[in-house]
A and B are shown apart, each in its own frame.
Chain A
């Protein structure tokens, strides 16, 4: 955070080049473009130019840092890079509810450990771009490096017109990432390497567009799905009404009943937005489950839990109503959503005052927002699982560190470009004036957002300072809490 000024300037200048479209001639020369059929190559290049950038790095400079979010795939044009592999850290429950503990002083960059070198023509960053997970390893330049950065729209366009590229990316995913992701899902945590490798081979990667139905309740269940990116709504049909039961996030799975019961789908699955899935055929999954008793147990546990939830929802549709509302409004993205109960809130603004006290006199949310029944959803950042505000930051001031829940903005490095504020679908990031002036005379601004009062031992100040206990924080994933709190 307190980087030396010089390095900061260099990084800034490097990232400024993101605004410069790639040179068409240079693009055409890339081996990557050779995968595109020649007759449409020119038009493709013209379309992807605004989203393709050439960047240069000096030896030692970091291209992508672990824990960052990236929306781009990088192709090395010239030079060599090293990849420092770090272990992945799961997000703890405490972090989910209260935010992360105060940050420890930054350790010196780790000893190399396991490294991997990449050369000209190699790709990296595609997994995090497509699945929207954070970057898992730091990639830095070994020699003077020139890379092509392809942002997501360009990547999508290319994969649409170049099936081989698609296959390459899928294969890469399958080889490098699927195992990791499979392991990350608690279900497969204890499965041995060989079984994982088998699953990896048999897995099929698929995408869904918003609103697309994956499975309808009552139809035959024949697949096991793993969610890579995006959100799926899980609902049941109760007396003609479609009641939302829960939703699936990246890392969740569906279809355990297919393996255990050989039955029809007990739920309807529908994509809420663009979703990326991994599909495993029933027979393959059953074979693996047959070998692994622990896996079997876990499947049973999950199945029972879901059936219970389904029963509870049928008995108490109100909670389902809240869930439906959350899915429609996007609250399901949030890991920690602030809700205020208006029947007990005395509009005293103590929450805002406490927020201001924690953030040096500047509150980071307003007690305004959408209202559902007696609950107000103020504009405090929801700490999305899959934040869209992280991409496009020119200075990297907005970040989410690995293993933490909250997305933080560093006011020292924020230049007030308001990209993040614009990208947030719910306007939860606001630009505030710092009091200074820019070079062009306009007032200097920085972006602020809720950071779950990171560094405060008791957790978010808004919740602990409400004199009537009207402010609550919850995740809509936790249906028990939703049922008990939102009534």
Chain B
């Protein structure tokens, strides 16, 4: 029979295998995971296993020192970034600083746009600055999506500039020649563009070619040079170096002349024939006269400067980075902060405090006055005491003052403190403390709000000190101590300039702070400042600067440099040739920006004009 390949198995086996039940192998994942975890935990060098990529160039030195930035568990917390990047107490890089830089006052994000979420507290540093993307990666975020989370989606939905009111935007259309509806800036000088352009036109300069004569581009700043009298105005207005001569002034009202050559005597009065810009003799005489014309204003200025100096001194004291402290000092700071926090919390819980204790001084003062025989003072003290007690009995309704009134009241307080401090020098430290506390007040604040703010700040600092202690104990090297060198320099410079200004204001003549107002002095002021008045105002017996280069956009950075080559001056600042007051804004609206800054044309990302973190704050 021929052999046939069978259809199916040729012969069935009789043997049934006995099979082992199969167990799914868990051994491999378990072994792999366990090995990796062991390596990971054993040595710091192996922890690099977990990194999703190398860190950026700037952080490259910390590549293998994971615990400098990472907490376990918890990830990257702001404290760790602030160790190096925001080592001072001012919290320059915080979200609050962002809000303040944006608005001036914080607390509400209602002005941030339709998608802002007030209940969301500040985003952490690591949420925008993503690391581990390789050495060449840039840490600063580059996409608008993150801004759009709270603000607008981009230039197309950006509202009109805050400096331009809605009424104004209706009138101003791109390239339109509307001048009159421009609102004033609040600061004016007598500078009239129209006059000057016409004057230059007489000399043969075309209207729109005359801009760059004064508004010259500055290469380093990528912007226009600041207007300065000496560079731009002196050519015509002080061609001989002198602005002219003053009117005759009684010699008793002014400083003693030094350089006789520039003075003349006219009928018993002094005339200075050569008045330079910022003439020192004129300025000193003006200051002397001010104390006679507006003593309260001068005292207020002085008090404000003193307060600022106190605040700067405290900033300087605090601007010592934690890196400079060793472990015992850190622990001492930690203990001190905890004590402060406890005290603040007790203050918050015991609202109000004891009125009697505060009035003890008043009682003493009234008794002293009675003993001295000053009945009027004693009566005043008693009335004050009674009134305060009466107020403290009833419920205190918080009344919010308007910001202007609030500032005025604050200045009054500062003046009183200043007077007390100069009267009794042993109260200097207490006066410094009070000045700082008065400076920290904001309109609408209650005691609780103030204490809460202080508590927040102390607590945040205590957390940082605690974290630093932990890191030191685990052997992490502190960052460099010259981290805050720039801040310290800035504060010291501010202190120096404040001191200089205090020096210039001078002190009131005589002993008393209250000086009678002198009508003659006003005449002398007008005569002295006759050459200054056309450009400068003389309100309040002071010569005020014209602030010609006050920046219009405060929340954004605009530089003229890249735009000078793209468009002529008249394409944005149309109508300025007819402007009569320098205070008139010649700003084009945002629609003009959108003409070029649009998708698929010029870059129109948020980062073009705005920064999240404010610039250096002194």
Which A residues lie at the B interface, using CB under 8 A?
A: 352-353, 356-357, 361-366, 368-371, 376, 379, 427, 430, 432, 448
Chain A, Cβ-Cβ closest to B20: A361
Task: Determine whether the beta carbon of A369 is less than 8 Å from that of B9.
Answer: yes
Contact of A448 among B13, B16, B17, B19 (CB under 8 A): B16
Interface: B21 (CB within 8 A): yes
Task: Determine whether the beta carbon of A356 is less than 8 Å from that of B7.
Answer: no
Most buried by A among B7, B13, B19, B20: B19
Task: Determine whether the beta carbon of A357 is less than 8 Å from that of B16.
Answer: no
Task: Determine whether the beta carbon of A430 is less than 8 Å from that of B9.
Answer: no
Shortest CB-to-CB span from B3 to chain A, Å, is: 18
Task: Determine whether the beta carbon of A361 is less than 8 Å from that of B19.
Answer: yes
Contact of B9 among A364, A368, A427 (CB under 8 A): A368
Please report the C-alpha to C-alpha distance between residue A64 and residue B21 in the assembled complex, in whole angstroms. Answer: 40
Please report the C-alpha to C-alpha distance between residue A361 and residue B18 in the assembled complex, in whole angstroms. Answer: 6
Please report the C-alpha to C-alpha distance between residue A379 and residue B9 in the assembled complex, in whole angstroms. Answer: 12
Interface: B352 (CB within 8 A): no
B22: A residues at CB distance < 8 A = 353
Most buried by A among B7, B16, B18: B16
Within 8 A of A (CB), among B1-51: 7-9, 12-14, 16-22
Contact of B16 among A353, A364, A370, A371 (CB under 8 A): A364
Most buried by B among A352, A357, A362, A366: A366
Task: Determine whether the beta carbon of A432 is less than 8 Å from that of B16.
Answer: yes
Chain B, Cβ-Cβ closest to A350: B22
Contact of A376 among B8, B17, B19 (CB under 8 A): B8
Chain B, Cβ-Cβ closest to A431: B14
A369-B8, A371-B7, A371-B8 given as contacts; is B19 within 8 A of A356 (CB)? yes
Task: Determine whether the beta carbon of A369 is less than 8 Å from that of B21.
Answer: no
Please report the C-alpha to C-alpha distance between residue A361 and residue B20 in the assembled complex, in whole angstroms. Answer: 6
Contact sample, A vs B, 5 pairs, CB 8 Å cutoff: A361-B20, A366-B13, A368-B8, A369-B8, A432-B16
Task: Determine whether the beta carbon of B19 is less than 8 Å from that of A353.
Answer: yes
A371: B residues at CB distance < 8 A = 7-9
Shortest CB-to-CB span from B12 to chain A, Å, is: 5
Please report the C-alpha to C-alpha distance between residue A191 and residue B93 in the assembled complex, in whole angstroms. Answer: 97
Please report the C-alpha to C-alpha distance between residue A408 and residue B433 in the assembled complex, in whole angstroms. Answer: 99
Please report the C-alpha to C-alpha distance between residue A157 and residue B427 in the assembled complex, in whole angstroms. Answer: 139
Please report the C-alpha to C-alpha distance between residue A362 and residue B16 in the assembled complex, in whole angstroms. Answer: 8
Task: Determine whether the beta carbon of B8 is less than 8 Å from that of A363.
Answer: no
A362: B residues at CB distance < 8 A = 16, 18-19
Chain B, Cβ-Cβ closest to A355: B19
Task: Determine whether the beta carbon of A368 is less than 8 Å from that of B18.
Answer: no
Please report the C-alpha to C-alpha distance between residue A405 and residue B22 in the assembled complex, in whole angstroms. Answer: 30
A364: B residues at CB distance < 8 A = 16
Shortest CB-to-CB span from B24 to chain A, Å, is: 12
Task: Determine whether the beta carbon of B8 is less than 8 Å from that of A370.
Answer: yes
Task: Determine whether the beta carbon of B9 is less than 8 Å from that of A363.
Answer: no
B18: A residues at CB distance < 8 A = 356, 361-362, 432
Task: Determine whether the beta carbon of A430 is less than 8 Å from that of B21.
Answer: no
B21: A residues at CB distance < 8 A = 356-357, 361
Number of A-B contacts (CB under 8 A): 43
Please report the C-alpha to C-alpha distance between residue A352 and residue B16 in the assembled complex, in whole angstroms. Answer: 10
Interface size on B, residues (CB 8 A): 13
Shortest CB-to-CB span from A142 to chain B, Å, is: 45
Please report the C-alpha to C-alpha distance between residue A353 and residue B22 in the assembled complex, in whole angstroms. Answer: 8
B8: A residues at CB distance < 8 A = 368-371, 376
Shortest CB-to-CB span from B14 to chain A, Å, is: 6
List the 8 closest A-B pairs by CB distance, nearest first: A371-B8, A356-B19, A368-B9, A368-B12, A430-B16, A370-B8, A432-B16, A362-B18
Please report the C-alpha to C-alpha distance between residue A376 and residue B7 in the assembled complex, in whole angstroms. Answer: 10
Contact of A363 among B12, B13, B19 (CB under 8 A): B19
Task: Determine whether the beta carbon of A430 is less than 8 Å from that of B14.
Answer: yes
Chain A, Cβ-Cβ closest to B14: A430
Task: Determine whether the beta carbon of A363 is less than 8 Å from that of B16.
Answer: yes
Task: Determine whether the beta carbon of B12 is less than 8 Å from that of A379.
Answer: yes
B20: A residues at CB distance < 8 A = 361
Q: With contacts A353-B22, A371-B7, A427-B14 known, what are 20 further pairs, Cβ within 8 A?
A: A352-B19, A356-B18, A356-B19, A356-B21, A361-B19, A361-B20, A362-B18, A362-B19, A363-B17, A365-B16, A366-B13, A368-B9, A368-B13, A369-B9, A369-B12, A376-B8, A379-B12, A427-B12, A430-B14, A430-B16
Please report the C-alpha to C-alpha distance between residue A427 and residue B8 in the assembled complex, in whole angstroms. Answer: 16
Shortest CB-to-CB span from A222 to chain B, Å, is: 43
Shortest CB-to-CB span from A298 to chain B, Å, is: 42
Task: Determine whether the beta carbon of B16 is less than 8 Å from that of A366.
Answer: yes
Please report the C-alpha to C-alpha distance between residue A245 and residue B152 in the assembled complex, in whole angstroms. Answer: 77
Shortest CB-to-CB span from B592 to chain A, Å, is: 69
Please report the C-alpha to C-alpha distance between residue A362 and residue B14 in the assembled complex, in whole angstroms. Answer: 14
Please report the C-alpha to C-alpha distance between residue A387 and residue B7 in the assembled complex, in whole angstroms. Answer: 27
Chain B, Cβ-Cβ closest to A377: B8
A432: B residues at CB distance < 8 A = 16, 18
Chain B, Cβ-Cβ closest to A432: B16
Please report the C-alpha to C-alpha distance between residue A356 and residue B18 in the assembled complex, in whole angstroms. Answer: 8
Shortest CB-to-CB span from B406 to chain A, Å, is: 79
Please report the C-alpha to C-alpha distance between residue A302 and residue B14 in the assembled complex, in whole angstroms. Answer: 43
Please report the C-alpha to C-alpha distance between residue A167 and residue B608 in the assembled complex, in whole angstroms. Answer: 114
Chain A, Cβ-Cβ closest to B6: A371
Please report the C-alpha to C-alpha distance between residue A33 and residue B16 in the assembled complex, in whole angstroms. Answer: 48
Shortest CB-to-CB span from A167 to chain B, Å, is: 46
Shortest CB-to-CB span from A166 to chain B, Å, is: 41
A361: B residues at CB distance < 8 A = 18-21
Please report the C-alpha to C-alpha distance between residue A353 and residue B17 in the assembled complex, in whole angstroms. Answer: 10
B7: A residues at CB distance < 8 A = 371
Task: Determine whether the beta carbon of B12 is less than 8 Å from that of A366.
Answer: yes
Please report the C-alpha to C-alpha distance between residue A363 and residue B21 in the assembled complex, in whole angstroms. Answer: 11
Most buried by B among A356, A357, A448: A356
Shortest CB-to-CB span from B36 to chain A, Å, is: 32
Please report the C-alpha to C-alpha distance between residue A174 and residue B592 in the assembled complex, in whole angstroms. Answer: 111
B14: A residues at CB distance < 8 A = 427, 430
Within 8 A of A (CB), among B69-102: none
Shortest CB-to-CB span from A313 to chain B, Å, is: 24
Please report the C-alpha to C-alpha distance between residue A364 and residue B19 in the assembled complex, in whole angstroms. Answer: 11
Chain A, Cβ-Cβ closest to B11: A368
B12: A residues at CB distance < 8 A = 366, 368-369, 379, 427
Please report the C-alpha to C-alpha distance between residue A365 and residue B17 in the assembled complex, in whole angstroms. Answer: 10
A368: B residues at CB distance < 8 A = 8-9, 12-13
Please report the C-alpha to C-alpha distance between residue A371 and residue B17 in the assembled complex, in whole angstroms. Answer: 21
Please report the C-alpha to C-alpha distance between residue A366 and residue B16 in the assembled complex, in whole angstroms. Answer: 7
B17: A residues at CB distance < 8 A = 352, 363
Please report the C-alpha to C-alpha distance between residue A364 and residue B330 in the assembled complex, in whole angstroms. Answer: 78
Chain B, Cβ-Cβ closest to A448: B16
Shortest CB-to-CB span from B98 to chain A, Å, is: 58
Please report the C-alpha to C-alpha distance between residue A353 and residue B7 in the assembled complex, in whole angstroms. Answer: 25
Please report the C-alpha to C-alpha distance between residue A352 and residue B9 in the assembled complex, in whole angstroms. Answer: 17
A379: B residues at CB distance < 8 A = 12
Shortest CB-to-CB span from B614 to chain A, Å, is: 64
A448: B residues at CB distance < 8 A = 16
A370: B residues at CB distance < 8 A = 8
Shortest CB-to-CB span from A387 to chain B, Å, is: 20
